[in-house]
Every structure is written in C-alpha cells, then in structure tokens.
Structure 1
Amino acid sequence: MRLSNEIMNDMKQANKDEIRQRYLAVDTSNVADVLDTLDYLDQGLSSDFAPFPIRRDGIKLAGWAYTIRGQMTAFPLGGDDDKMQACQGLSAGEISVWSGDGEGICYFGELIALGMKERGCVGAVLDGGIRDVRWIGQHGFPVFARYRTPVQSIGRWKVNAWQVPVVLRGATSNFVSVKPGDFILGDDDGAIVIPAPLVEQVLAESERLTATEAAIRTQLSEGLTLAEALAKYGHV
C-alpha cells in the first residue's frame, strides 16, 4: 500500500497542474489588474523581456518558478557543473527563472532547453540572453529573455545558487523579487510574477474578469455601444 504522504503529494501535484492549465486561459493584463487591487503594484517584468520564438499565433508561458542565479566569473572552458546540477532539480510544471549579472552572453541554448523539457519544465524566463532561438522554437519550449546572443556563458558566467530568492528587472520598479514556488505568467503583453500565497486568489478573480470581458465582447458584436457597456459593467 502506498504511503499517505505519497498520495497527498500526487494530489498536490494534480492541483498544481490544474492551476497551471487555468492560468493558461487568462491574460497577464487581467492578472496585473487583480494584483493592483491587492496592492501588489510592481509585479510586472521589464518590457525588455521578449518572447522567443516570436509566433504569429502568440506565445503563452505559465508555471511555477524554479530559480537559478549566476554571475560573471572567468573559468576554464569545459562546462559548468553547477548549472547542470541546478537543472537536474527541475520538476513538471515548473519554469526555470534565471537571474544574475550576465551581459552579452547566453544563459543556455538548445541542449539545456531540451534537458529541461525532458524533466517536465514548461519554459524559462531569463534576465539575460538566449541562443539557438530557431531550434528551441522548433522544440516548442517557450522562453522570455532580455536579449539574444550567439556568445556562450562557458568561461564567462557561472551558476552560483538555485532555489533561492532572486530579482529580475521590473516594469514599474527596478527589480521584481521571485521566490521558488511563485507563479510566472507570460503572453504577448509581457510577463508577470504572482507571489505563491496569492496564486489561487488571483486566479479566481482573473477568471471572473476574463468572463466579464468575454461577455462585453459578445454584446459589443451584437450592437451594444461602448457607452452602454461602460454603464453596465463599469471599468474593466
């Protein structure tokens, strides 16, 4: 017979999977509005973070934060064992969140992306660079990164910690704090961080806003005027 804590872990994972799927159906704009009402005003990431690959049908990124931190460090060519070890800890439904002082270099390319995907990782957010953009796109691995570059990190930038609080450049503040287990949502409007204690509350209210907006769009298409919509629904 399986131990009760194993069954509980499965239930928790199932709940996390359900939450992730539901977040995929809401927009970052609605999430941002909900966070404003809760006085979390600075959760959006900088507009420098761009989606890769760029797709005509848009891109969506949703998952639980698994944080990785590094710094510019000269070291011999041959690999970064700490980076490999950090990536081994990724689990299903998680997004790898990369932070550090790297400039002009990529934090990872195609092969590491494939390794992360094999572990169930559902995307990445990089406060730094990415390369092998074409190939990563063909593997269906969504990434938000500050820039793209052909220059590797080996010999230049080294991972020094993982699953610790990190900071990423922000949209309305210099930095946004990301802790392991926070939730990351990204789409064509950008990316935003939902603190772990608020994930379910923000989701429920974002779903309510999404349903209201859908109703407004339907009624506008049926002849409702904008003035009538504002009178009926107020600001949304």
Structure 2
Amino acid sequence: MHTAEQRAEIRRRFAAVGTSNVADVLDDLGRPDQGLAPSLAAVSGERLAGWAYTIRGQMRPSEGTGDAAKMQACQGIGPDEVAIWAGDGHGVCYFGELIALGLRERGCVGAVVDGGVRDLRWLRQHGFPVFARYRTPVQSIGRWAVTGWQEPVYLRGATAAWVRVHPGDFVLADEDGGVVVPAALVEDVLTAAERLTATEVSIRAALLEGLSLAECLARFGHV
C-alpha cells in the first residue's frame, strides 16, 4: 500500500508523461488491452491523472427526488482519486457540476464517465477535467441509479470490448485518449514511461540540432 504522500507523488509524475508512452509500456509488459475507447473523450479539460475510485449504476425507473446511493458513493472518494462512472445507462446524465464540486471538495481530481454528463460550461469554468461518452441535458433522477461502488467495473475499450477497472488502478487520460494501469504495475509502468519520455525529449532536441530521423533512431533506438 502507498502512503498518501506516495500516491500524490506518483500522480504528479504520471501527469508529466503521455498516454501513448504508457500504452507502449503496457504493450511491452503483455497488457495490450488497457486503452479506453475513443468515445471516452474530453468534455472538460484536456488531461487527468489519478487513482481509480469506481462507481457503477444502471437504468432503473424510480420515484423520488434523489439518489441516496449516489450521494453515499461520492462521500467515499479521497485526494488524488478519479471518479470512474460505469454502468448500462443511455441517454441520461450520470454526472454534472454539483457532483463535480462535491467531489473536488474531497480531493477528487477528475472523472471518467462511460455515460452521460451535463453542465459542461460550468465544468469547464471550474477547471474540472472530465472524459465522457456523451453529453445530455436529461437528468438521471427517476431513470438511472447507483448500484455499487469501490468494486471492479468495466469501461469501453480501444482494442477489446471492455477494460476492467479495479479500485486503486491508475487512470491517465489526455489528448490521445485514456489508459488504465493495473495497480500491481503502477510503479513499473511509471518508471518505464518516464524513461521513454526522456528518450523522446532527447530525440526532439537532436532533430532540432540537425540530425536526421534515421540518425536519431540509430542513436536512441525506436520509440
């Protein structure tokens, strides 16, 4: 288990590397299907990095004015965590401005929503990063409800139908898309991704100095 300080430092370091390098490292480690589907795209902000806190729900008609389970689930999130919203919803909003503000008060650093979001103007104004599958003005109350949290969930995948996300996995998303790093591989993936990032920096500098791409690849290797 990592301490709170270690989790914060790992998140800071991951935020400095790109998803492409992380995906390449995962390929090398025999985990080729950790990329998230391109339909999970940024709707607020451009990058997020954090430890997975999972929330699952489903379409379930109901009466009443709220979702007590959703509120209870949100109370458990902590610093440096990303809220991962999954389930079988369609056409309705799982996540909006007020939930985001409540989560941020608890230290949450973003959300990945395999479903709908709304209040995009305000999410952007607050600077809260969100990657989501679709946008909609239609609320979830009476239509969709939280059924569990902090248990394994499934998000749509890039090279496989689904990516399984466990609480405590690491999630990174940027302009290229999203990727899930299994908890047991976090430190190995981070170290290798940092090394790959440093190599790319050296290649870019050499290209600016006038070396050809072939010369750079001969010197630094393929990336």
Q: TM-score range by the shorter chain?
A: over 0.9
Runs of 5+ consecutive residues of structure 2 not aligned to the other structure = none
4+ residue runs over 4 A deviation: none
Question: Does residue 132 in structure 1 map to residue 123 in structure 2?
Answer: no
Shift of 1:234: 2.1
Corresponding residue number in structure 1 for 2:59: 72
CA distance in 2, matches of 1:109, 1:53: 11
Structure 1-normalised TM-score? Answer: 0.93
Native 8 Å contact 2:23 2:35 kept in 1: yes
CA separation in 1, counterparts of 2:41 and 2:139? 19
SS in 1 for 2:35: coil
* Aligned pairs for 1:36-185 within 5 A: 36-53=27-44, 59-185=46-172
* 1:186 counterpart residue number: 173
Could you tell me how far 1:233 is from its partner in structure 2? 1.8
SS across alignment from 2:218: helix
For 1:231 and 1:64, how far apart are their aligned partners in 2? 37
Q: Which runs of 5+ in 1 are unaligned?
A: 1-8
- Following superposition, the deviation at residue 77 of structure 1 comes to 3.6
Give the superposed CA RMSD: 1.0
Q: Secondary structure at the match of 2:3?
A: helix
Q: Which residue is 2:218 aligned to? A: 231
SS in 2 for 1:102: coil
Find the aligned partners of 2:116 and 2:163 in 1 and give their Cα distance. 18
CA deviations over 1:25-63 (Å, ceiling 9, x no partner) = 000000000000000000000000110226xxxx11000
Per the TM alignment, residue 235 of structure 1 is displaced from its structure 2 partner at its CA by 1.2
Which residue of structure 2 lines up, in the alignment, with residue 6 of structure 1?
Answer: none
The answer as to 2:23 corresponding to 1:32 is yes
Matched AA of 2:220: Y
How many equivalent pairs are there? Answer: 223
Structure 1 partner of 2:195? 208
